[in-house]
Amino acid sequence: HFQFFTDLFLFLWQISDMVAVARILKATLIIPELDKKSFWLDKSNFSDVFDEEHFIRYLANDVKVEKNLPKELVKAPKSVRYFKSWSGVDYYQNEISPLWEHRQVIRAAKSDSRLANNFLPPDIQKLRCRTFFQALRFAPPIEALGNLLVERMKSFGPYIALHLRYEKDMLAFSGCTYGLSDTESEELAMIRGNTTYWKVKDIDPLEQRSHGHCPLTPKEVGMFLSALGYPSSTPVYIAAGEIYGGESHMVDLQSRFPILMNKEKLASAEELRPFSQYASQMAALDYIVSVESDVFIPSYSGNMARAVAGHRRFHGHRKTISPDRKALVHLFDKVDSGLLDEGKRLSQKIIEMHQKRYRTGHES
């Protein structure tokens, strides 16, 4: 039997790996526990977020999946292992499989990036993809409201889903404070210092931004969309939690794109009530609306952004635009300093820059 723990969007990648690892090890996989100690302290269980019965049923011919460890094994000695990152089949067959001689339960202490991306047997690679795109399905209540949000968003016309990663946890973790007040910057530094599992404490925010390591600000995203030629009538869905600093940081984006929606605007408080206290379930709603959008644009290339982009490719290469943050901030700084006007020249530079990224595989 094989156990592991994870959080939501890492989960989408990790469960695909761990299902494949269970197949390689000929092991029974125990339904994973979501990480309840993350920044948002979400108490959701697997079955609160995903359709557990479908997951077990879909994988029945590939891997045996059980909801819980059998009673007779609960107190059995367990082998706790940190699996080596980016490992191939040989590693699991030669180094992990022999553990069964002494233990009936192996617990993966961490499950991020534990399987190689390349040179896997075709059946294992296909199993990973089927797990990600077909075995994993959100719980029926989440699917129902998510699809309703999509329907309501489409009533405004073809829409952009903007994964606006301008949230307290992201900014505190990355040390990105551009455009924030001194008070806000100090609050984020305090959060970073007090979060023990974030190892890097001293971060130069200007250096982070110049290297493209910061999410675009709401204002920068507005400039980006305008430069790409999207008219102000374009409906934009904000896939995000609470934007740090609230409406004060959204003024410029809102003025450029007045049809600026989010789940709180599209759904009633009553419709959101079952999910509103659970960050992972609220994020799942954003995920559904993002996958189904006409264009998806992430302001930062994190776990959700990569998962959504991959899911969209699976559905037939729906348009995803990944901003070149490093190049963009240098252009935006020129605009701020008066060296470049926001207009045709800026637009031309940004369009050419992203046409090149498209040709080199950064967009689809």
Q: Which two tokens stand for residue 333?
A: 């700084």
pLDDT at 85: 83
For the domain made up of 141-166+215-360, give the CATH fold. Answer: Rossmann fold (3.40.50)
pLDDT at 113: 56
Residue 138 DSSP one-character state: B
Residue 80 DSSP one-character state: E
Q: Which of 215, 160, 317 is nearest to 309 (CA)?
A: 317
Cβ atoms within 10 Å, residue 139: 20
The type of residue at 71 is K
Residue 85 DSSP one-character state: T
Q: Which two tokens stand for residue 190?
A: 């305090």
Q: Which of 113, 118, 90, 127 is nearest to 4 (CA)?
A: 113
Cβ atoms within 10 Å, residue 110: 15
Q: Would you kindly state where each structural domain of the chain is located, as residue ranges? A: 8-137, 141-166+215-360
8 Å CB contact between 346 and 331: yes
Residue 38 DSSP one-character state: S
In angstroms, what CA-CA distances link 158 with 148, 235, 294? 16, 7, 6
Q: How far apart are CA 281 and CA 141, in angstroms?
A: 10
Contacts of 220 (CB under 8 A, 6+ apart): 299, 328, 329, 332
Q: Which two tokens stand for residue 294?
A: 């006409």
Strands 78-82 and 33-34: unpaired
Torsion of the alpha carbons at 291, 147, 240 and 333, rounded to the nearest 10 = 50
Q: Give me the tens of pLDDT residue by residue for the chain, a chain 364 residues long.
A: 644 444 567 778 888 888 999 999 999 999 987 765 554 567 888 999 999 999 999 999 999 999 999 998 888 888 888 888 888 999 999 999 999 888 889 888 765 556 777 788 999 999 999 999 999 999 999 999 999 999 999 999 999 999 999 988 889 989 999 989 999 999 999 998 888 777 788 899 999 999 999 999 999 999 999 999 999 999 999 999 889 988 889 999 999 999 999 999 999 999 999 999 998 899 999 999 999 999 999 999 888 899 999 999 988 878 999 999 999 999 999 999 999 999 999 999 999 999 876 655 455 5
pLDDT at 5: 41
Residue 117 DSSP one-character state: S
In angstroms, what CA-CA distances link 180 with 125, 146, 176, 239, 304? 44, 32, 9, 21, 24
Q: Which two tokens stand for residue 11?
A: 């989960």
Q: How far apart are CA 26 and CA 64, in angstroms?
A: 9
Contacts of 247 (CB under 8 A, 6+ apart): 254
> Which helix or strand (DSSP H or E) is residue 81 part of?
strand 78-82
> Which helix or strand (DSSP H or E) is residue 241 part of?
none
Residue 97 DSSP one-character state: G
Model pTM?
0.90
Q: Which two tokens stand for residue 90?
A: 């040989």
Cβ atoms within 10 Å, residue 170: 21
Q: Which two tokens stand for residue 143?
A: 């699917």
